[in-house]
Amino acid sequence: MIEVSDLHKSFRSGEGWIEALRGVTCHVPKGRFAFIVGPSGSGKSTLLYLMGALDRPTSGTIKVEGFDLTAMSEAEQNAYRRDKIGFIFQSFNLIGNLTAVENVLVPFLPRGLTPELRSRAEELLKDVGLGKRLSHRPRQLSGGEQQRVAIARALVKDPVLVLADEPTGELDSRTGDEIYRILRELQARRQTTLVVVTHDRRFITPDDLVLEIQDGELMNGEAKEPNGDLARVASSS
Ligand SMILES: Nc1ncnc2c1ncn2[C@@H]1O[C@H](COP(=O)(O)OP(=O)(O)OP(=O)(O)O)[C@@H](O)[C@H]1O
Ligand SMILES: [Mg+2]
């Protein structure tokens, strides 16, 4: 599903460079729930954003379903993000003057809405427990409810891959449990591949793939498959 090889990403910082990723190689199989964990500043978000083609690496390649993101033109990357990827961010990123249903439909606004899409959005909101909140605007929703709208928005295009950066970072722990329950249920039902950055290891189960990053490098020892075999994960050194 996702093949990352020898990924490097440097950012210019004043006179010098910050090496956010220093040769990350990993593989996330289709349909898996993968977590990226590690200390603050270790490169977790950088790796996630590169998987979503939100940025380009300094060197190395990322293939998703066989397509090399790094070889794509700008237009191809835009289409990849629009059609294939569901993003969930810590801060929900909902549009204030749109209702829950309209927020879910945002990915389709440039192409136009159909009655089918509208009922699909309503269906997804029911799936995440918001059937009674369809016409609410973000300020009329709790944080957990807003994040559930964001999850429905990420899923409305039936993405092959869902990328989430600290999706429960702004929520209390009970609401966090609820968000993960929804993510796992949707993943089980749709066989979606999920990659989630988290600080909170409480949500990780033994079946999950764990990518542990430190100082821009993957610590291979942690990236174990459930049967105990090392996943195809290694740092470049
Ligand atoms: N756009 C940028 N410009 C300059 N430096 C950046 C940029 N994005 C990230 N960095 C730097 O790269 C390193 C890795 O950042 P990243 O955001 O990937 O960390 P993280 O593991 O997600 O941390 P956190 O847990 O705090 O979110 C950090 O030192 C950060 O300051
Ligand atoms: Mg981050």
pLDDT digits (tens, 9 = 90+) for 93-128: 999 999 999 999 998 888 888 999 999 999 999 988
Alpha-carbon distance 24 to 235, whole Å?
5
pLDDT value, residue 222:
41
Alpha-carbon distance 171 to 4, whole Å?
31
Residues β-bridged to residue 86: 162
Ranking 159-168, 181-190, 192-201 by mean pLDDT, the lowest is 181-190
Decide which of 110 and 154 is more confident: 154
Distance between Cα 163 and ligand 2 center (Å): 12
The pairing of strands 85-89 and 161-165 is parallel
Reported confidence tier of residue 221, pLDDT bands at 50, 70, 90: very low
Distance between Cα 136 and ligand 1 center (Å): 34
- Number of domains making up the chain: 1
44 lines ligand 1 (CB under 6 A): yes
pLDDT digits (tens, 9 = 90+) for 50-59: 999 999 999 9
Residues β-bridged to residue 17: 12
Closest residue by Cα to atom 11, ligand 1, is 20
Distance between Cα 41 and ligand 1 center (Å): 5
Closest residue by Cα to atom 5, ligand 1, is 11
Host domain of residue 12: 2-235
147 lines ligand 1 (CB under 6 A): no
Closest residue by Cα to atom 12, ligand 1, is 20
Residues β-bridged to residue 155: none
Burial label, 101 (beta-carbon count in 10 A; 0-12, 13-18, 19+): buried
pLDDT value, residue 172:
87
- Output the pTM of the full model: 0.89
Ligand 1, atom nearest to 213 Cα:
21
For residue 32, what is the domain's CATH number? 3.40.50.300
